[in-house]
Amino acid sequence: MPKSNSLLKRTTNSLLDLFSKESASQFRASESELSRRLDVSRTTIRAALAHLEAQGVIVRDGRNILLPHRPKSTDYFSGRQTMSPHDSIEQVLMERMRQGDWGPGREFSETDLARDSGVSTASVREFLIGFSRFHMVERRPRGGWKLLGLHVDFANEVADMRHMIELEAIKRLKPAAGGEWRQTVRGLLAKHEDLLGDMERKYKDFRTLDREFHAFVISGLKNRFAADFLDIVSFVFYYHYKWNVQDELFHNTVAIQEHLVILEALSEQDIAAATRAMVAHLTTSRTNLISSLEQPAAPADGGAR
């Protein structure tokens, strides 16, 4: 399996998730069925199954997929391995800004960012050109780029757009008594409850879970432009916060509790209650962001949405 094929690796992990939900040692499905369920091509499904078979994780007999053992954590690809070039670049860029290494006015090269992200300079250039439309970076001569500052007016504009997108999205979520929709809500509830129980130690893990939660909400729109907007939301609502450690723990705890109210309403298929809770959550996040931008930077950076 090519090292750079993140889609293939994510598909492999998704197949393992499907297999782990089965109580029996046999899973029956055609490549076409798996392709539809995971929304990837049959070629990708075929390659992922071939990888799992070569690793001894499964044995195939026509449509039957035999499981010699339940999927283990060692059968999965790591989160870093499954990252797309876009996500790898974003992670490196955002972490540098969050840690205070890079601030407004900082100039950097495509080559440096490509090396640290483990991707090609072409991928970095494509990412930055797309990102520049949000006026967060500015192109300079000879492959150079410059970070621009974030102002309160711009943050309010992003918050306005987020409010419109996510409220419309949650109204369009279509609850189902069973199936993948219900499983997703239950899974998010469980993840939030687990993290809330260990926030003192794992409060920074909320960023990843928060993105997963909001991606699920936005999925209700089935709109690629709304999904792309999640990138700028992550940039603005995470990496320009200036909380110290205790503030970050507090704000992340409040945010996760607000998420739980929304998810519990969704689990009850009460879209009206979920919408009211989302309004409260978005109001809190806007207030926190503007407060952060208006106060001096604290010794340790952090973030909460």
Tell which of 56, 75, 94 closes a domain. 75
Same domain, residue pair 237 and 278: yes
Q: Which amino acid is at 61?
A: D
What CATH number did the domain enclosing 216 receive? Answer: 1.20.120.530
Whether residue 302 lies inside any domain: the answer is no
Same domain, residue pair 66 and 117: no
Same domain, residue pair 253 and 169: yes
Nearby residues of 89 by Cβ (< 8 Å), 6 or more positions away: 113, 117, 119, 123, 124, 127
Same domain, residue pair 135 and 222: no
Its domain, for residue 15, covers 6-75
Same domain, residue pair 229 and 277: yes
pLDDT tens for each residue of 67-84 = 888 888 888 887 666 677
Q: DSSP E strands: which ranges in the chain?
A: 26-28, 59-61, 64-66, 107-109, 137-140, 144-147
What CATH number did the domain enclosing 103 receive? Answer: 1.10.10.10
Please give the pLDDT value at position 302.
Answer: 42
pLDDT at 177 over 60: no
Same domain, residue pair 176 and 280: yes
Residue with the bigger pLDDT between 162 and 98: it is 162
Which of these, 231, 232, 185, 238, lies nearest to 207 by C-alpha position?
238
Question: Mean pLDDT over residues 214-235, rounded?
Answer: 83
Whether residue 1 lies inside any domain: the answer is no
Domain count, the chain: 3
Same domain, residue pair 97 and 57: no
Which of these, 261, 259, 266, lies nearest to 184 by C-alpha position?
266
pTM for this predicted structure: 0.62
Tell which of 103, 132, 147 closes a domain. 147
Same domain, residue pair 97 and 198: no
pLDDT tens for each residue of 83-121 = 778 778 877 887 777 666 677 788 999 998 888 888 889
Distance (Å, rounded) from C-alpha 49 to C-alpha 108? 41
Please give the pLDDT value at position 98.
Answer: 63
Distance (Å, rounded) from C-alpha 140 to C-alpha 161? 29
Quote the tokens at residue 188: 């998010």
Distance (Å, rounded) from C-alpha 209 to C-alpha 214? 9
Please give the pLDDT value at position 301.
Answer: 43
Q: Which residue has the tokens 């959550």?
A: 281
pLDDT tens for each residue of 239-261 = 555 555 567 788 889 999 999 99
Same domain, residue pair 289 and 212: yes
